[in-house]
Amino acid sequence: MADTGTMIAMSKDGLDDRGGRAPGYRQITEALIADIRAGLWTVSGKLPTEAELVARFGASRNTVRESMRELETFGYIKRRRGTRSILISADPGDSFTNSVRSIDELLQYSRHTVSRIVSTEMVVATGALQERLNAAPGSHWLRVQVLRMPIRGAMPLGFSEIFVDERYAAIADKLDDDHTVYRTLEEEFGITFRRVEQVIRASAAAGPIADYLRVKPGAPILVARTEFVTSAGDVAEIGFGHFPADRYKVEVVLERGGADVDEEDR
């Protein structure tokens, strides 16, 4: 059996031997990163199974899976269905991998980064902005600018411009650094986003975007245009995410239908 690291004594109800609550996924992530940096596992080696980590931390399988997803996001491991995760880097630095299997995972970078709202303002869709949004000329939108910083590391991971249809502009008073715009829209207005459409293209950093990302003007970046479509078929939100090419990558995993396969120790 693989070495699972220093054991944490847990009782049956999920309390540790000091009476504290079972660790959340972020605490498990930090513990595993400490093990990786201590050399417990070597690059290309396999990490413990989900079952072993559940036993070690006294946490639920879902909590452990979220922690493993975060490790993959930070660039430490590669997850594969039906087998144990592989360590791919002991020190990934300022990087971010968005591994996509669902709508929630498509947007997971907002959960695994520290967001700071830079500005909010109402704008009118004319000229170049109207073309970017593919919106009705003269329509009004709430623009929210957000800087994305890594949880670990010092270099910005992204800069987002988010446009919200004026029907939902009152959301400006509800926004904060801890909640995504689309989740806040769903909670405040009772709408449901049934479809997300995203197009990613290569571009070059210019003007304020280069400054926010701390890259030179003309440096290669990825621009992700994301539309959030409600169950009624309305586009309520359009986002433009700008990511430095050397700090961000997207990994799409598509699988044919079938029953879920639990992780196996192999």
Residue 216, in any domain of the structure = yes
Identify the pLDDT of residue 237: 96
Residue 235 burial by CB count (10 A; 0-12/13-18/19+): exposed, middle or buried?
middle
Which of 65, 92, 119 is the endpoint of a domain?
A: 92
Give me the pLDDT at residue 258, please.
Answer: 55
In-domain check, residue 214: yes
Let me know if residue 223 belongs to a domain: yes
User: In this structure, are 55 and 133 located in the same domain?
Assistant: no
Same domain, yes or no, for 65 and 112?
Answer: no
> In this structure, what is the dihedral angle of CA atoms 85, 75, 259, 55, given to the nearest 10 degrees?
50
Pair (114, 167) in one structural domain: yes
Which residue among 74, 92, 110 closes a domain?
92
pLDDT mean values, one per 10 residues, the chain (266 residues): 40 36 74 89 90 92 87 80 84 61 57 84 96 96 93 84 96 88 92 89 94 95 93 94 86 62 50
pLDDT at position 105, please? 58
Domain, as residue range, for 133: 96-252
pTM, entire model: 0.62
Do residues 245 and 145 share a domain? yes
Per-residue model confidence (pLDDT) at position 13: 34
Q: Is residue 180 part of a domain?
A: yes
Residues 76 and 207 in one domain: no
| Whether 111 and 241 share a structural domain | yes
Q: What is the pLDDT of residue 255?
A: 66
Same domain, 120 and 240: yes
Do 116 and 158 have their domain in common? yes
- Domains in the chain: how many in total? 2
pLDDT of residue 11: 32
